[in-house]
């Protein structure tokens, strides 16, 4: 009985989220355009996330290389470290890790912000001020997430590879040019393009789920906390599901061979 009730709630919420996402696509191209708010959100969502995503990317590149080094030495293939780390970071670690950090920071902040606006009637106030709150709040934040995450991922990949270069230099002297030449020799377009494209979907998922959870918050301040929390949990799970789908598609298209 409990399972069936939970299933019903899950299906209902999935349906509502799908309708919410469909409304985003319907409304985002229709005037009036909230361009100023979109730019402001790009700054808040993109620029202000850069220190955190950059730091985690740097540490991940460094740690990945340091962890990999003894095993590569054991097999006598330490010269492959730049290629291996490059492929791992560009294809998977960079996009997914950055998206997860992004979901933690931006998903929760959007969920909490919109949630508190909902419970304090600020969204209603916007509506009576002649503003479409969906366009002003949801479309701008989701679009900014969708466009800023790929930028953050590209920057994070670069920082991560730099971390890897430093990690490699702890054990052996490699020049910057040689290291990056080896990284780019092993990368093909099919590594980069799907990895960047999937980050648009990750960004969309984080933005729309954060907005959805915040926009339909109820039960006062307790609801705001719950909205922030479930925005992070649901968008993190969604990132992994999307990643799985992208891997299946690229595999079916035989892009890596």
Partner 1 sequence: MKGKTDPDDRVIIIRDLCKSFGTNRVLDHFDLDLHRGENLAVLGKSGSGKSVLIKCIIGLIRPDAGSIRVLEQNIQGLNREELDQIRVKIGFLFQSNALYDSMTVRENLEFPLRRHSFRLAPAEVNNMVMEALRNVGLEHTVDMMPAELSGGMRKRIALARTLILKPEIILYDEPTTGLDPITSLEIINLINAIREKFGTSSLIITHDLKCVKLTADRIAMLIDGRCNITGDFEGLKSSSDERISPFFN
Nearest alpha-carbon partner for 24 in 105, 145, 125: 145
Residues in CB range of 105: below 8 A, 6 or more apart: 49, 52
Does position 130 interact with partner 1 (CB under 8 A)? The reply is yes
- Residue ranges of alpha helices (H) inside the chain are 2-27, 35-45, 50-75, 81-88, 94-102, 108-119, 122-128, 133, 140-171, 176-186, 189-215, 220-252
Residue 254 Cβ vs partner 1, minimum distance, rounded to whole Å: 48
Query: Nearer Cβ to partner 1, position 26 or 181?
Result: 26
Nearer to partner 1, 128 or 189 (CB): 128
State yes or no: residue 174 binds partner 1 (CB under 8 A): no
Counting contacts by CB under 8 A, is residue 222 touching partner 1? no
Residue 83 engages partner 1 in binding (rule: CB under 8 A): no
- Structural tokens at position 120: 């304090």
User: Which of these ranges, 78-86, 122-130, 179-187, 202-210, lies near partner 1 under the rule CB under 8 A?
Assistant: 122-130
The reply to whether 140 sits near partner 1 by the rule CB under 8 A is no
- Residue among 2 and 128 whose Cβ is closer to partner 1: 128
225 forms part of the interface with partner 1 (CB under 8 A): no
For 242, half-sphere exposure in the C-beta direction (CA atoms, 13 angstrom radius) is: 24
CB of 116 to partner 1, least distance (A): 8
Q: Does 124 bind partner 1 (CB under 8 A)?
A: yes
The nearer residue to partner 1, 36 or 173, going by C-beta atoms, is: 36
Residues 6+ apart with CB under 8 A from 207: 106, 110, 141, 142, 143, 144, 145, 146
């Amino acid at each position: 009985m409990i399972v069936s009730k939970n299933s019903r709630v899950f299906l209902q919420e999935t349906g509502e989220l799908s309708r919410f996402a469909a409304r985003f696509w319907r409304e985002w191209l229709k005037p009036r355009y909230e361009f100023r708010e979109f730019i402001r959100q790009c700054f808040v969502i993109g620029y202000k996330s850069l220190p955190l995503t950059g730091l985690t990317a740097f540490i991940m590149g460094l740690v990945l290389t340091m962890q990999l080094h003894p095993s590569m030495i054991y097999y006598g293939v330490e010269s492959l470290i730049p290629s291996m780390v490059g492929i791992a970071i560009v294809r998977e670690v960079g996009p997914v890790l950055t998206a997860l950090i992004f979901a933690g920071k931006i998903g929760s902040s959007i969920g909490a912000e919109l949630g508190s606006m909902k419970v304090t009637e600020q969204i209603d106030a916007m509506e009576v001020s002649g503003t479409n709150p969906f366009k002003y709040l949801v479309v701008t934040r989701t679009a900014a997430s969708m466009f800023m995450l790929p930028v953050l991922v590209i920057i994070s990949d670069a920082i991560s590879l730099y971390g890897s270069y430093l990690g490699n230099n702890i054990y052996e002297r490699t020049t910057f040019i040689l290291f990056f030449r080896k990284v780019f020799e092993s990368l093909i377009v099919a590594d980069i393009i799907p990895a960047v494209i999937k980050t648009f979907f990750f960004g969309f998922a984080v933005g729309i789920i954060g907005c959805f959870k915040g926009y339909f918050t109820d039960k006062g301040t307790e609801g705001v906390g719950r909205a922030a929390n479930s925005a992070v949990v649901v968008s993190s799970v969604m990132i992994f599901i999307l990643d799985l789908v992208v891997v299946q598609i690229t595999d079916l298209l035989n892009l890596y061979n």
